[in-house]
Structure 1
Amino acid sequence: MPLDPDSFRSVLGRFASGVTVVTTVDEAGHDHGMTVSAFCSLSLEPPLVLVCIDRTASMHDLLQPERAFAVNVLSAGQEALSRRFASGDPPNRFDGLGYERGRTGVPLLQDVLAWLEARVERRHTEGDHTIVVGRVETAAAHQERPLLYYRGGYAQLER
């Protein structure tokens, strides 16, 4: 008997994950971003990360080989920022937000726990997502608590 999608989602929801906002800039210079929880490190040498992007997501086709992107790891107080980047793709999503340009020109959001700038090295289509492998060029971290996603909702690490 095959596993039904609701049961699968319920089981996967038991895995707490960090919350990130992936950002990039298109050829016309417009900023784009989306909330991504499917992010992880892949290799230390060379420094590689991966993000998984739904093939129907507005940013899916932007993350092509050699395109620069940033992974902004959200801190505990940034749930509203996560929600802002999780819904649709309004053209004014960055209006009023604090961010700076990274070395590659992508937006690096203010007050995040950490950020990484990378370039798309490879893409692998699997199921309804594309696995985007990025080679990290620069990164920084700050002393904050992480924003977590667990069982369909946001959580914070208590320590």
Structure 2
Amino acid sequence: MDSRYLRTVLAQWATGVVVLTTRTEEGGHHGMTASSFTSVALDPPLVSVCVASDSTTCRLIRSSGVFAVNVLGCDHEEIGRRFATASATDRFAVGDWDIATTGTAVLTDAVAWIDCVVAACYPAGDHTIVLGLVQDAATPRPAAPLIYHDRTYYEGIAR
């Protein structure tokens, strides 16, 4: 299977947009936009994210042992784009960020955020499936979600 063609096919799956955040070795914060996030279990409370195995994000999540999932609202397109751009100098300069229980950054006006410790990491091709044990979570505000489909952002259906 040609990977470029498969990417085009998979882009037809509409998904929500999240920003994954974690801590750096120096005590700072790092983040990236992702669409590969899912709930796994309620007891114990588990979620999963998939990140490229050779990425800075994967290395930092493994070394810090923590990450947060910030669910973006329809008005967060700028944040989604900023965290998806490798050349962004200070990704956290946009948005109002707070620090969660594990020390990860959480967006104060996210639709939801989930703060996790790493429960396990599983290799999966060129990616790593990171299983997170939920430590804390919040729904700061009700809002339509930011949706990603066919390499384009869309506002979700309003409530």
Shared topology, TM-score over 0.5? yes
Residue of structure 2 aligned with 1:137, choices 129, 135, 139: 135
Q: How does 1:1-159 map to 2 (within 5 A)?
A: 3-64=1-62, 67-88=65-86, 90=88, 92-95=90-93, 97-141=95-139, 142-159=141-158
TM-score between both structures, scaled by the size of structure 2: 0.91
SS of residue in 2 equivalent to 1:53: strand
| Distance in 1 of aligned mates of 2:33 and 2:62 | 18
The more displaced of 102-111 and 72-81 is: 102-111
Change (3 A) 1:5 1:96: closer
| Distance in 1 of aligned mates of 2:87 and 2:32 | 8
Deviation at 1:44, TM superposition (A): 1.2
- 1:65, 1:119 within 8 Å by CA — same for their partners in 2? no
TM-score between both structures, scaled by the size of structure 1: 0.91
Identity %: 39
| Distance in 2 of aligned mates of 1:92 and 1:46 | 35
In structure 1, the gaps of 5 or more residues are: none
Amino acid at match of 2:47: V
- The structure with the greater share of residues assigned to helix is 2
The more displaced of 26-35 and 61-70 is: 61-70
| Distance in 2 of aligned mates of 1:112 and 1:76 | 10
Deviation at 1:11, TM superposition (A): 2.1
| Distance in 1 of aligned mates of 2:87 and 2:56 | 7
In structure 2, the gaps of 5 or more residues are: none
